[in-house]
Structure 1
Amino acid sequence: MKLLFLRKLSAFVLLICSAPFFVGTPTYAIDEYYRFPEYSSPEKIQFEKERKLCIFPLRNLSGDSSLDFYSSGYASVLYSGLKSLVQIYDESLIPKSIQHSFGPNPSGVKPNLREGEWDYTGLEKLKKGELSLNVSRDPRYLILKVQPYETETAPDEGFIIPISRKYDCFYSTYGEFEKKGEEIRISIRIRSSKDGSKKEFSHKTSVRRSYQELSPVTEEIRKTLLGKHTKSLSVKTGNQYDSLVFLDGNYIGKTPLKRNDILSGIHDVRITKNGYSDWIGQVDLRESPKDLDIVLEKDKKEGFLSVDSDPQGAKVYLGSEYLGVTPLVKVPVKIGWNRLRFVLGDHVDQFKGVEIKKGEVSEVKARLKEGESVSYYRNKKYLFLDHTYDDFAIYSLYGSLFFYAGYYYFNLRADQALENARPMVQITNFAALQELQQSSPNFQTFALSYFYQESIYNDAKSKSDYFRSISGRFGKHQGIHGGLMLYGIGTMLILSATFYALGLDSETLEVGVAPVKTMPTFVRGLEGQYETESYAKFNMKF
């Protein structure tokens, strides 16, 4: 204790002795010492962008457990009526983060605000109507997400706050119902975590039609959540149906679409359908309802190709499609991988792989070497535009499959022609003919019946023979009977074998590099560099 006293006394004496040294030395406040007033920090406010509505079951106050199914049932009905809500309006904004201004702000200097950031000046102009913004940029328009919780225990008044916090609910619907005779009294409350306020909706309905007659309550809750008057929006896409409609980035339905609960304002609209180009535009619903009838254009799925060659004037083929003579600038072509072929007299054909991307410009340039393509490319199967003998062998196989399908189809038609006549013809053998004669009252009736059935059979046989003449027929018992489809199958198989044989070659090199002899022989390549057989590659995809 004595030691502590001596330490304090020594410190006091030291301060008294040091005081003369500080006489005349200026003292500063904290903000002056660190020069805070010289720095400026603009005010920035960011607001919430979405809210969540939780729908909970209603409590059963009837004491009749057989009515418990209504508890989650009413929650499901509410969800069905409110799930289409995607946007609400709240004039009283809730800040998500606030950055207070600090330091002097030179006059005329505006704060650099990013998308979604505001200052108080901008907010005042917005509330006074001096700013006209799209709904997507106006912070007072919020996305609403609706989520049912039918499996939860129906909460009472004292439990609604904890369960709302558990599921991060901004709005919560809860309540109770009670059966009185043949009538059900329903009380539904919606609680807002903004200020803890509650609004109650009461309804009386019959037991039998309690679900169907809950719509008035649902409509009142919708109006409360929307927070602003609404307008009607109709969207059609001509003769096209099932186009998806997005309002301010939120999906609101398929065309033809009719919505009566769209908040007034300037909305961004996007209409999309597979195989068609998106339609993007705006609709002004501040004053009156709108009807849109949009004709979507086919998605061309095009990219662009700019091609040049050295020397210029070369013909350019994309696959087997002729594009023109170099130089070519931004030629619209289909997207995907393909091969370019450059053809110029007295020069070796040049092949290049290219990928065309939608909406982008692909640039390709080729340097052509003087010479003859026939001698330069020993493997002749690559010299028929951009299709090889191997390609035509495969095409021929596809052709044989096509003719085989025709063969099967016409044989089926021939069998059907006879089968359709079978129920109308009884004289299929001698016994049937004898039975017909015995059942006929006289010879005239027998003759009429006989010739009538024979005409039906002859007509069916004629149709069957016609279809057989087109298809042909072959089999173990029938032998081979020539027909157009059989001739086509045979021709395609012969062509396939012929093209395959023409494509056989000792060369195994890919397109794009000169075939060379085996090591150690060298040849000079297109770029003036020496190439060896191991370098003869073509790494592009087709």
Structure 2
Amino acid sequence: MRSGACKRISALVVLLSLFPLAIFGPVYGIDEYYRFQELSSPERIQFEKERKLCIFPLRNLSGDKNIDFYSAGYASVLYSGLKSLVQVYDESLIPKSIQYAYGTQTESTRIREGEWDAKKLEKLRKGEYNLTTSRDPRYLSLKVQPYEGEVAPDEGFIIPVSRKFDCFYAIYGEFEKKGTDEIRIQIRLRSSKDGSKKEFSHKTSVRRSYQELGSIIEELRKTLLGKTTQTLSVKTSQQYDSLVFLDGNYIGKTPLRRTDILAGVHDVRVTKNGFEDWIGQVDLREGPKELNIPLEKDKKEGLITVTSEPSGAKVYLGSEYLGTTPLEKVPVKTGWNRIRFSLDEYVDKFKGVEIKKGEVTEAFAKLRLGDSVSYYKNKKYLFLDHTYDDFAVYSLYGTLFFYAGYYYFNYRADQAFESIRPTVTVTNLVGLESLAQSSPNQQTFFMSYLYQEHVYRHARSEFNYYRSLSGNFGRRTGVQGGLMLDAMGLMLALTVTFYALGLDSETVEVGTAPVKTVPSYVKVYDNQYEMESFAKFKMRF
């Protein structure tokens, strides 16, 4: 009892102590206390961007195993007719994620590109937004995938099978042979959106059952597309086989004519090796369109901006002189290259750069006082596009190339004899006696012998030809000169020669580096040049 009374008295004391704060202090609502107005989040809805169509084999209900091959065959024919579909339209989209609104919306909490809310979607459906199909979420990419190797699913297993392969749409069904020359085909298209399915029936002859699936394929296409279509034709003058992409999906090569393009404003890209890409839009809302696009030769150019400290340095890209710094957006060829900065009384500076097509590459160098000849002791740093080390590496690659040729031509030489082994049996006295015994008469014997002799001489001639190209070396045969073997020796000799030319005291890390000039950073005693160890020279510079 006493403990309970003590607790009540303590609580009363606390409440009385807080009473002045309740009267004179500020009173906050819960939304103000937790700053709901400042912490807000808009409604955000993100939608799916791609759907998958799975095509399964059809079940054979006839019990006739002789026509089981039609099960996977029908799936292949359906896939051939539907694989060109790259886009479908669905007015009732399925949200991928929904973030509901929270707090008071401000300018900083607007939805980003690709996100939607209920109001924006309503405006889109009313046609108040004019968007390209690539930005309109109602246009979805379609991926068509056949599964001919799977067991033909029935109605009770199509849902788990669709979940296994992540199918949004599934095409399945059955066929049955009626009489001697009639097949009834029942095909179903199931959508995982609401579990609905649509059935397509067809009667055909056994012989022409593949060819007569066209009507079902056309009905399936219309159902999947979900919207009216238009015709799009694309030509590129004389540049045939240019690749055409619609909203990022490949739809064929030029000259192209497609009659199943969804109505709307589409992004089109036409590309061909050696030519500049053509990028534009085509409006198919009102009717068909025909594009005649003249492709231009690809210049393969990028831009480079070069600066240095101090400015005024000469700039070389490889062996090409670009000008003096600063340089602003100079057009140059794409690819990897070496850039050199050169300025009197300063050490030359080298940098590797990658020039990308249509992009601006920036290069900067801070130059140091000095003399380039004294600074770069190693011959590998000569101001050439290719150094001794480069030539050594190229020669070594040449050695490997000719070694591959040596191995290949030796293989062909051995094959020349191996290929006639089953044909030529007269290789020794035993083979000659065997041929004589197996021949019914002397004329047959001589004809067989002469034929085998002709085959053997032809093989010997082929063997000698390939061996002359390859050459040979071994313990028994010694070294026999050949084109590949001689070239290998030459490439090895050049590798060693170029590597030796690139060596000096700095490369092998021994000896001293005499200073032959008198730059500002070298001391002179009694007109004698200072001799420095390599370590000291390298540390200083």
TM-score > 0.5 by shorter chain: yes
Amino acid corresponding to residue 43 of structure 1 in structure 2: E
Query: Which one is further off, 350-359 or 199-208?
Result: 350-359
Q: Distance in 2 between matches of 1:183 and 1:395?
A: 70
Contact 1:177 1:184 in 2 (8 A): yes
Deviation at 1:272, TM superposition (A): 2.8
Per the alignment, residue 201 of structure 1 pairs with 200
Unmatched segments (≥5 aa) in structure 2: 396-489, 524-529
Per the alignment, residue 136 of structure 1 pairs with 134
Deviation at 1:259, TM superposition (A): 1.6
Map residues 80-479 of structure 1 onto 2, 5 A cutoff: 80-105=80-105, 111-181=109-179, 182-294=181-293, 295-308=295-308, 310=310, 312=312, 315-334=314-333, 335-340=335-340, 342=342, 344=344, 347=345, 350-358=348-356, 359-365=359-365, 367=367
Task: Kindly provide the CA deviation profile for residues 179-227 of structure 1, in whole angstroms up to 9, marking residues without a partner as x.
Answer: 2231211111111122222211111211111111111111110110000
Amino acid corresponding to residue 260 of structure 1 in structure 2: T
Per the alignment, residue 73 of structure 1 pairs with 73
Residue 49 (1) aligns with residue 43 (2): no
Contact 2:182 2:205 in 1 (8 A): yes
Per the alignment, residue 457 of structure 2 pairs with none
Aligned Cα root-mean-square deviation (Å): 4.7
Query: Which one is further off, 195-204 or 378-387?
Result: 378-387
- Secondary structure of the 1:78 match is helix
Q: Distance in 1 between matches of 2:35 and 2:314?
A: 71
Deviation at 1:269, TM superposition (A): 1.9
Amino acid corresponding to residue 180 of structure 1 in structure 2: K
Contact 1:232 1:290 in 2 (8 A): yes
Q: Distance in 2 between matches of 1:394 and 1:50?
A: 49
Per the alignment, residue 446 of structure 2 pairs with none
Contact 2:340 2:351 in 1 (8 A): yes
1:10–1:350 CA distance, 2 compared to 1 (3 A): same
User: Would you say how many aligned residue pairs link Structure 1 and Structure 2?
Assistant: 418
Contact 2:47 2:94 in 1 (8 A): yes
Task: Kindly provide the CA deviation profile for residues 309-358 of structure 1, in whole angstroms up to 9, marking residues without a partner as x.
Answer: 7473x5544333233344433322233122526265xx577352332421
Q: Distance in 1 between matches of 2:3 and 2:144?
A: 68
Greater C-alpha radius of gyration: 1
Q: Distance in 1 between matches of 2:67 and 2:61?
A: 10
Deviation at 1:384, TM superposition (A): 7.7
1:283–1:20 CA distance, 2 compared to 1 (3 A): same
TM-score normalised by L of structure 1: 0.64
1:339–1:127 CA distance, 2 compared to 1 (3 A): closer
Amino acid corresponding to residue 168 of structure 1 in structure 2: D
- Secondary structure of the 1:118 match is coil
Amino acid corresponding to residue 518 of structure 1 in structure 2: T
Unmatched segments (≥5 aa) in structure 1: 1-8, 397-492, 538-542
Amino acid corresponding to residue 355 of structure 2 in structure 1: K
Per the alignment, residue 441 of structure 2 pairs with none
Deviation at 1:375, TM superposition (A): 8.2
Q: Distance in 1 between matches of 2:231 and 2:521?
A: 67
Q: Distance in 2 between matches of 1:352 and 1:518?
A: 25
- Secondary structure of the 1:51 match is strand
- Secondary structure of the 2:244 match is strand
TM-score normalised by L of structure 2: 0.64
- Secondary structure of the 1:96 match is strand
Deviation at 1:40, TM superposition (A): 4.1
Query: Which one is further off, 245-254 or 185-194?
Result: 245-254
Amino acid corresponding to residue 237 of structure 1 in structure 2: T
Contact 2:505 2:512 in 1 (8 A): no
Q: Distance in 2 between matches of 1:91 and 1:224?
A: 13
Q: Distance in 1 between matches of 2:324 and 2:510?
A: 30
Q: Distance in 1 between matches of 2:502 and 2:185?
A: 87
